[in-house]
Amino acid sequence: MDKLSYTSEGRTSAWSTYLQQIDRVTSYLGNLSRWIDTLRHPKRTLIVDIPLQMDNGTIRHFEGYRVQHNLSRGPGKGGIRYHPRVDLNEVMALSAWMTIKCAAVNLPYGGAKGGIRVDPFKLSEGELERLTRRYTSEIGIIIGPQKDIPAPDVGTNSKVMAWIMDTYSMNLGNTVTGVVTGKPIHLGGSLGREKATGRGVFITGCEVASRENINIKNARIAIQGFGNVGSEVARLFETAGGKVVVIQDHTATLYNNKGINISELVKWQNKNKNILGFPEADPIDKEAFWETQMDILIPAALEGQITKERAEIISCKLVLEGANGPTYPDADDVLATRGITVVPDVICNAGGVTVSYFEWVQDMASFFWSEDEINKRSDKIMIDAMSHVWKKSKEKKCSLRTAAYIVACERILMARKDRGIYPG
Ligand code: NAD
């Protein structure tokens, strides 16, 4: 399903999905539930108009957003998305999921997210740079290393982060590396950041697979999305002996019963920008992706992909949510009834924000760590968070998603309660 049908066909929006997830956790929060409404209201929402002179001399206007959902536990943290269907509803939901995620893995951050409604593939590099710099100046009034720290998301990368860092620094008059994470290494970026989200999906996936007696070796794996997250998680599962039998991106769905050769597909994608036409796998129908025989499903593209209907036909034992918000609440129920375990986005893909946190700490200290040190520290945070959520789900007899929300909401609402309301 493409994103258009996310809000059509009577489907709930991303923000409604988030609100339903909050509704599901409220009864577990005891006295803290008095404060739950704080999570139903984004703290700060900024919509900006970005005029852009195109290479051919015409002027176009783009709409951009930055939403700070909750800052109770620290500065806002969250990526910036460039995609033709970005809207306020989506950015609000993504910012809220960041609030939950940072608290679930216990990072000292609140949640934020930003985006521009644009197809970055249709702009020249010069247009993309001018768009990014104007957007940065427009949201510059609310971002900063102690206020809100953006990072890459769908359609943005380390180059875009370098432009953001430079524009913010130029406007301020001094270099501020800590204003964004996911920067190039030579500009204060962190070793390990690029691969951190995919690595975290793999680490949490292995943790849960071992608890559920699912053997990774020879497991049949399906991955939707072959970008930053999908390609790295594919590589790691292949290295661990798994067979990635089906991969889908926005251009094609590829199948190979013996397992797709990931390093060859990465080479193909680096040259062609997408997976379409890769000769060592068969192209199949888009919808056939969900019907493929699989043990592990990894959505690593966009939200709103696992619908109730798809949840009824998926054959896997384990879903690892690399993407943010890929599963609808009613689909969650179907998966639970069918005994399929879902490792929720707010834990599963938190490896990226964890190493972003390390990048920010290194920038603040101007002292940089080795990749080995970074991987060890992030693996520990991911495994500890996963174990804590696993125990909570057993104790409360609830899904891993609800357990992760209980852990996160308790931390956020304790902070909210102890800070109190200003003015009283
Ligand atoms: P990316 O832009 O690098 O890759 C996105 C991939 O999704 C591409 O392969 C694209 O072709 C595919 N895609 C887009 N629309 C699709 C569609 N309709 N059907 C099938 N495939 C489609 O983005 P990314 O950074 O890998 O992010 C992927 C997901 O992971 C997003 O939900 C993002 O919010 C989430 N995430 C990313 C990070 C990070 O560090 N990059 C961290 C946490 C969560």
CATH of residue 172's domain is 3.40.50.10860
Atom of ligand 1 nearest to the CA of 345: 44
User: Could you give the CA distance from residue 134 to residue 52 in angstroms, rounded to a whole number?
Assistant: 8
**Mean pLDDT computed over every residue of the chain:** 96
Residues that are catalytic: 113
Asked if 93 and 303 count as a contact pair (C-beta separation under 8 A), the reply is: yes
- Looking at the fold, whether 95 and 230 belong to one and the same domain comes out as no
DSSP 229-290: HHHHHHHHHHHTT-EEEEEE-SS-EEE-TT---HHHHHHHHHHHSSSTT-TTSEE--TTHHH
Q: Annotation-wise, does 228 bind a ligand?
A: yes
pLDDT in tens, 141-178: 999 999 999 999 999 999 999 999 999 999 999 999 99
Q: What's the pLDDT band for 368 if we cut at 50, 70, 90?
A: very high
Q: What's the pLDDT band for 3 if we cut at 50, 70, 90?
A: very low
Mutating to test ligand 1, I would choose from 99, 197, 223 the residue with most ligand atoms within 8 A of its C-beta, which is 197
Number of structural domains found in the chain? 2
CATH of residue 252's domain is 3.40.50.720
pLDDT in tens, 28-70: 999 999 999 999 999 999 999 999 999 999 999 999 999 999 9
The residue whose CA has the least distance to atom 18 of ligand 1 is 2
Assigned domain for 185 exists: no
Boundaries of domain holding 75: 42-176
Query: Given 295, 319, 348, which residue is the final one in a domain?
Result: 348
Q: What pLDDT sits at residue 316? A: 98
Query: Given 142, 176, 210, which residue is the final one in a domain?
Result: 176
Using CB distances shorter than 6 Å, the residues near ligand 1 are 2, 152-155, 197, 224-230, 248-250, 300-302, 322-324, 349, 352
Query: Given 290, 320, 348, which residue is the final one in a domain?
Result: 348
Asked if 322 and 195 count as a contact pair (C-beta separation under 8 A), the reply is: no
Q: What pLDDT sits at residue 8? A: 36
Q: What pLDDT sits at residue 2? A: 35
Query: How far apart are the CA of 20 and the centre of ligand 1, in A?
Result: 23
DSSP 94-139: HHHHHHHHHHHTT-S-EEEEEEEES-GGGS-HHHHHHHHHHHHHHH
User: Could you give the CA distance from residue 96 to residue 51 in angstroms, rounded to a whole number?
Assistant: 28
pLDDT in tens, 227-236: 999 999 999 9
Assigned domain for 164 exists: yes
